[in-house]
Amino acid sequence: MPPIILMNDPRVVDIPVHECGEPLVDLRQLPFVDVDERLADQAGAYAQLREGVAWRLARAARLLPEGLRLLVTEGYRPLSLQIKYFEDYAAELRCAHPHWSDEHLHRQTSRSLSPPEVGPHVAGAAVDVTLCTAAGSELDLGTPVNASPEESDGACYTDAARVSAAARRNRRTLSAALATAGLVNYPTEWWHWSYGDRYWAYATSAPTARYGPMTYGVLANGSL
């Protein structure tokens, strides 16, 4: 396997963003897509994605085998929450590995969480998604969504070998639909897929990203 490129890699961070100005849309209005409320916020930001990403997600849902649906756990994530997640995980790793350099700590934290300044969720460009039946029962994909490498012993990696045959099949089913619809996976997290962000640009050799950081309803530069 080729080495995994992490979110903090300069080849990702240095990709320019040419903001296209697409609005966020509510995923709860999409057919064949269920939105889980485990990370729900009062404003409903968790259920939002950029229009172009949402359109591709809806297409992926239609590509699934009969009886299966996409189950979204989180879309857009406010910058303040991304910062909190990143800093909390970094603090957890620092406690377990006090000898790590700051650079190595930043890299290891970036396995599971994007640096806030790069974050695809902060741009409304990324979605955390799994599979469920039409009745709403989640399928086995090997680990819970958002499992860290430490708590899953590396099984959260998309191509991890130590998952059951059923989980591997379900990951292939999910990946086939989302990749065909134009989304790319962050290979340390089987559930994380994106379109239009810097990581997507790197993975597809696009010269620029389409989506930059935004606050809920407003782009980071104050316009929409």
Instruction: Provide the β-strand partners of residue 219.
Output: 214
Annotated binding site: 121, 128, 192
Residue 88 domain-assigned (yes or no): no
Annotated binding site for Zn(2+): 121, 128, 192
Residue 68 domain-assigned (yes or no): yes
Cα distance between residue 43 and residue 29, in whole Å: 16
Is the Cβ–Cβ distance between 196 and 211 less than 8 Å? yes
Which tens digit of pLDDT belongs to each residue from 23-81?
A: 999 999 988 899 999 988 888 999 999 999 999 999 999 999 999 999 999 999 888 77
Name the domain count of the chain: 1
- Res 103: pLDDT: 85
Could you give the residue ranges of the DSSP H alpha helices within the chain?
Answer: 10-13, 51-63, 79-96, 102-109, 149-152, 165-180, 198-204
Residue 19 falls in the annotated catalytic set = no
DSSP state of 184: E
Residue 224 domain-assigned (yes or no): no
- The per-residue pLDDT of the chain, averaged, comes to 89
Model pTM above 0.85 = yes
- CB-count exposure of residue 80 (10 Å: 0-12, 13-18, 19+): exposed
Question: Greatest CA separation found in the chain?
Answer: 51
Residue 96 domain-assigned (yes or no): no
- Three-state secondary structure string covering 116-174: CCCCCCCCCCEEEEEEEECCCCECCCCCCCCCCHHHHCCCCCCCCCCCCHHHHHHHHHH
Q: Give the pLDDT mean for 91-110.
A: 84
Residue 45 domain-assigned (yes or no): yes
Residue 157 domain-assigned (yes or no): yes
- Res 220: pLDDT: 40
From the candidates 19, 22, 74, 189, give the one annotated as an active-site residue.
189
Which tens digit of pLDDT belongs to each residue from 105-144?
A: 877 877 777 777 788 999 999 999 999 999 999 999 999 9
Match 């782009």 to its residue by tokens. Answer: 219
Residue 215 domain-assigned (yes or no): no
CATH of the domain at 172: 3.30.1380.10
Residue 168 domain-assigned (yes or no): yes
Domain span at 128: 10-77+112-204
- Res 136: pLDDT: 92
